[in-house]
Structure 1
């Protein structure tokens, strides 16, 4: 309103200015009256416009107040709705939090169950991969792999299949069955054969023991156990029913592999090296010499006993017979008793070397064999320490050669010495018996000769 009054004042000032200059204009132009009228008319129009503006402003102000009141009412309604929504939101937030807590509890139980299923499947997968039962039912490994690696809850069908697999593992562990399966030979060629399985422990085919490789295939052991094990396997395969003894391997193949890799007698001897062969040669020669001498003493003893029963007919094939021939009436006339005794002693001494021969040599071999074993022990330990110096102690297999030589030579030395000592003792005892028999017979002959003297 102040602004409108100011505009009217400006208009009136303009009119006054025009009236002030009107005399001059009137003097200069005839149209000044018309100009005055136009100015007055413009002033009137400007006033009307201003009044109209004022009226419109007043109307707009009333309308704005109504709009303000309406907006304030809408604001109050909106605020009420906001408060209601906020309350509902807070209630829903609390409900969501409660549902989350419940979900967390339920999911925790499901997670435990899921973890238990995965752990059970993983443990059973580890057991089944090393079990000979898998060779008969290899498809169960796929189920166990799927359950062990699954990232979501399994289906009911998979859980039932897992339960059936566990029950099957327990039942088949106590059964002996025969089935056809692919068997990989040591040369890498596979062929279908009849396989006999004893629980999860042992499997055999054609008298050979089988093992399970990493792919679940039956593989014939490259080195089979000793012939006794093979004979037992063949007998068990041939049996149709009844109770039959069979070898089982609780370690699922490990003991069979160790038994197959165990060196035989020749391999053990080769581990002894040159010293081991030398010990065996000495032991063999000593035993042969002792046995030959024992045979001679046994034969001589038998002939001497027969000669004792028949002194009237002395024979030169035994020591007693030769002694009787030496002092027969024809060969030994009547002599002085002392001379006869000396001749008897000479005859006995002549037979003694034959009776006691080989004893010193056998005794020497019995003493040398353990010393050679000790020599092999020392050389084997030297080789072991050399291997340790070069390669360190990281790989025990590098030291096994020297240790084997040390132990095998010791064993060979004892094996050679012990029987030689026994044989030498037998030879000494047998020789003493024969020499004592000669001494007794010589004393008898001396007494008879002295009785016949006048």
Structure 2
């Protein structure tokens, strides 16, 4: 009984605790639900407020759009009206002006050309007094007046007059170091300015002059033009392009620059040319001395000297007691030895003459390869980019031909000189053999007669 009572008590306590816990959970859920409802209410209120603000902003933008559209329509209508009005006025102006409109167009065009001439040419150093009239005509929006037309005509007349006379003036000159100074100059019509240094490059936009990198040959100077101011006649070089042709002189390469454009192959060709010239000079001097000594030896054959012919004669004097066949062989040997000495270096000269154009061809091929590589990298739009390879290709060809021609001529001349000396030696040797044969024949014929006696 006691155990049953205890179980009932425990069960009662457990049920009480479960009921209390359930009540607690229900209260918490209600509190969370209430808080969630409050948060949703706040968000809905915010959304409604944002919606009102956006609606108000939209209405404002729509109003502004409508206002701008009205303004655009009004401006478009005004523009159309102004355009129609302008077209009617232009047509009225064309009808009223008639052919004068075309005349005034030509006047304005020529005024622009004259304005450029006045402001850019060297005559600007002597300011055209009607230049302001020309500026007014160019800048005017209306038709020029009679006064302006007369001023334009006078400006043309003054410019033409200035272009046909020489006058002394003062100009601002900028030297190579950037220093500016006032110098005296002589204006040659509208073509150029001449100072003590020669022609100067006039910069009309800056009102200053600069020196050219290179002056033309026999170009005028300030001192050489002194006779012009006295009404005399002076022969001088005039650049009608107003400095463009003189400016191109700086781009013309010098002889040294042309040689440098040949590159390594060009230097090798020049080296071969120098070697060939040295060989030609040495052998030419040697052959000239040999010919001079041979001429002297021919006048005195009894005393053999230290020269080609003297050495051949010396062989004859040593071989007089031998037979004709032996003497002939000895003389032939001496002539062959002298021929080898006379032709020494000529084979090398011939080789250099043949090698020079081959090297020129090698330089040409090398230069063309460089040109094609440049075209591959940069294209062929700018010829200056390809100028290096083309210069090497052409310069080496020219150097090869220039080197080959004098070497070939020198080889031909020296070979003919050596051949001439060899012919003299052979002729003298044959004469000696003939003399020895006649001598032996005389001895053989005289010997029996002596025995008989």
Give the TM-score normalised by the residue count of structure 2.
0.71
Flag the 1:189–1:156 CA change in 2: closer, same or farther, 3 A.
farther
1:236 aligns with 2:236: no
Indicate the residue corresponding to 2:410 in structure 1: 423
Indicate the residue corresponding to 1:332 in structure 2: 319
Indicate the residue corresponding to 1:89 in structure 2: none
1:394 aligns with 2:394: no
1:438 aligns with 2:403: no
1:150 aligns with 2:137: no
Quote the offset at 1:216 in angstroms: 5.7
Structure 1 vs Structure 2 CA RMSD: 2.6
1:349 aligns with 2:336: yes
Q: Is the 8 A contact 1:172 1:200 kept in 2?
A: yes
Question: Unaligned 5+ residue runs, structure 1?
Answer: 1-98
Quote the offset at 1:383 in angstroms: 0.9
Higher mean C-alpha displacement, 277-286 vs 202-211 = 202-211
Q: Is the 8 A contact 1:135 1:218 kept in 2?
A: no
Task: Kindly report which structure 2 residues correspond to 1:89-168, keeping only aligned pairs within 5 A, or say none.
Answer: 104-137=94-127, 143-168=133-158
Secondary structure in 1 aligned to 2:250?
Answer: helix
Secondary structure in 2 aligned to 1:379?
Answer: helix
Quote the offset at 1:357 in angstroms: 1.6
Quote the offset at 1:178 in angstroms: 3.2
The Cα offsets for residues 263-283 of structure 1, whole Å up to 9 and x where unpaired, read as 101111111111111111111
Q: 1:219, 1:247 → 2: CA distance?
A: 19
Quote the offset at 1:403 in angstroms: 0.9
1:177 aligns with 2:167: yes
Indicate the residue corresponding to 1:319 in structure 2: 308
Quote the offset at 1:101 in angstroms: 8.5
Quote the offset at 1:256 in angstroms: 0.8
Indicate the residue corresponding to 2:83 in structure 1: none
1:293 aligns with 2:280: no
Indicate the residue corresponding to 1:413 in structure 2: 400
The Cα offsets for residues 353-384 of structure 1, whole Å up to 9 and x where unpaired, read as 22112211111111111111111111111111
The Cα offsets for residues 54-75 of structure 1, whole Å up to 9 and x where unpaired, read as xxxxxxxxxxxxxxxxxxxxxx
Higher mean C-alpha displacement, 251-260 vs 444-453 = 444-453
Quote the offset at 1:326 in angstroms: 2.5
Task: Kindly report which structure 2 residues correspond to 1:9-158, keeping only aligned pairs within 5 A, or say none.
Answer: 104-137=94-127, 143-158=133-148
Give the TM-score normalised by the residue count of structure 1.
0.71
The Cα offsets for residues 279-303 of structure 1, whole Å up to 9 and x where unpaired, read as 1111111112112211111121112
Q: 2:135, 2:335 → 1: CA distance?
A: 91
Higher mean C-alpha displacement, 243-252 vs 270-279 = 243-252
Size of the aligned set, in residue pairs, is 351
Flag the 1:313–1:181 CA change in 2: closer, same or farther, 3 A.
same
Indicate the residue corresponding to 1:188 in structure 2: 178
Q: 1:131, 1:294 → 2: CA distance?
A: 61
The Cα offsets for residues 114-135 of structure 1, whole Å up to 9 and x where unpaired, read as 3222111112233445533233
Quote the offset at 1:342 in angstroms: 0.9
Flag the 1:251–1:332 CA change in 2: closer, same or farther, 3 A.
same
Indicate the residue corresponding to 2:268 in structure 1: 278
The Cα offsets for residues 92-125 of structure 1, whole Å up to 9 and x where unpaired, read as xxxxxxx998865333444333322211111223
Indicate the residue corresponding to 1:200 in structure 2: 190
Higher mean C-alpha displacement, 441-450 vs 263-272 = 441-450
Q: 2:157, 2:94 → 1: CA distance?
A: 33
Runs of 4+ in 1 over 4 A off after TM superposition: 99-104, 138-143, 232-235, 238-241
Q: 2:236, 2:333 → 1: CA distance?
A: 68
Flag the 1:279–1:112 CA change in 2: closer, same or farther, 3 A.
same
Quote the offset at 1:389 in angstroms: 0.8
Q: Is the 8 A contact 1:314 1:322 kept in 2?
A: yes
Q: 1:398, 1:236 → 2: CA distance?
A: 41
Q: 1:285, 1:235 → 2: CA distance?
A: 47
